[in-house]
Amino acid sequence: MKKVFSVVVFTVLFYCAGLVGANEKKENLVWDAGSVQLELEKLSGGIYALYPTDAKEKNSKGYPVATSGGFIVGDNGVLVVESMVNKRLAEQVIGFVKKVTDKPILYVVNTSYHGDHAYGNYVFPKTTKIIQHSKTKAFMDNKDKFEADKKFMTQYFGSNRGIEDVIARTADIVVDSKKTIDLGNKKVEIMHLGFAQTEGDLFVWGPEDKVFWTGNPMVAQPPALPWLLDGKHEEVLVTMKKIRNFLPDDATVVPGHGVPVKPKDIDFIINYLEVLQKRVKNAIKEGMTVEQAQKSITMKKFQGYALWGWVHSGVNIPNVYKELSP
């Protein structure tokens, strides 16, 4: 997320969608980092997804939820996907791992620099290796950026929820292309497939069990839309098509903020991006201003997302319009 822009937008979005209660509104919370509870779902032998307990209900209605992740268990140890936003959630992840196995957590993968995916790194054992893209590491290693980021996270995910106490812990292992890790009779592929939401997006693939973690490039099941906060819609489209072509139809996909889905659900994102690009291009040819484009490009079949008005009209259309304008 672009912190100043996106967090403010998210706050307005959640107010409009009625996703925060009266007490939470006093703190302008997007979601409360002090109350999120995770649940565990076994996907295959040694493969587990973690997602918020309200995800099953809210995802199907088009409402966003907190961060999802998971872990993979091999004979030698465990690889965790996403460390969450604070100590209490990182400890929930560690607690779920301990319920399943007494093997050590060897690796933690951050799919991006976003705090709700990477802040909990410091809670994991010192022997655990952190895996990030170089762009993610560079962002978190920049003290000024990181401290400013913490302040935004605290403002919108809750003060006194442990976010203030987060210590930047960055990559021991940098992956800018692809790396395969053998956990002991369980291989994991960590890959950068191109720009999907940030410059440093990583994807995690368990080839033997056909399980794929996307991070934020796929927020959740349809009708959730992609957030083109950094623009580059054409690159996003290329990357999402690459992912879709890579995945077998019987794979399981764990999105960044929701319950596991199937690869066919990615078609919704691809279709949306293709239609959006076509409609914005036509609007520009017709001489429309960006404001006129925002009003006219309605795309009714994609409107089930609770945050439709702001994401589609407020974020995606202006960014695509800017990129396609001569």
Give residue-wise pLDDT tens across range 7-40: 434 444 443 444 444 344 445 576 788 999 999 9
Number of domains in the chain: 1
Q: Judge whether 290 lies within some domain.
A: no
Q: Judge whether 52 lies within some domain.
A: yes
Domain of residue 27, CATH code: 3.60.15.10
Q: Nearest to residue 260, comparing CAs of 9, 32, 30, 39?
A: 39
Q: Judge whether 127 lies within some domain.
A: yes
Q: In this prediction, what percent of the chain has a pLDDT beyond 70?
A: 91
Q: Judge whether 239 lies within some domain.
A: yes
| 43/38 Cα distance (integer angstroms) | 16
Q: Which residue's entry shows tokens 């395969």?
A: 180
Q: Judge whether 314 lies within some domain.
A: no
- The pLDDT of residue 161 is 94
Q: Which domain holds residue 202?
A: 3-267
| 72/138 Cα distance (integer angstroms) | 26
Question: Can you give the C-alpha Rg of the chain in angstroms?
Answer: 19
Q: Judge whether 146 lies within some domain.
A: yes
Q: Judge whether 140 lies within some domain.
A: yes
Q: Judge whether 51 lies within some domain.
A: yes
| 290/293 Cα distance (integer angstroms) | 5
Q: For 218-255, how does the pLDDT look when each residue is reduced to its tens digit (9 = 90+)?
A: 999 999 999 998 999 999 999 999 999 999 999 999 99
Q: For 270-289, how does the pLDDT look when each residue is reduced to its tens digit (9 = 90+)?
A: 999 999 999 999 999 999 99
Q: For 120-179, how does the pLDDT look when each residue is reduced to its tens digit (9 = 90+)?
A: 999 999 999 999 999 999 999 999 999 998 998 888 788 899 999 999 999 999 999 999
pLDDT band at 322; cut points 50, 70, 90: very high
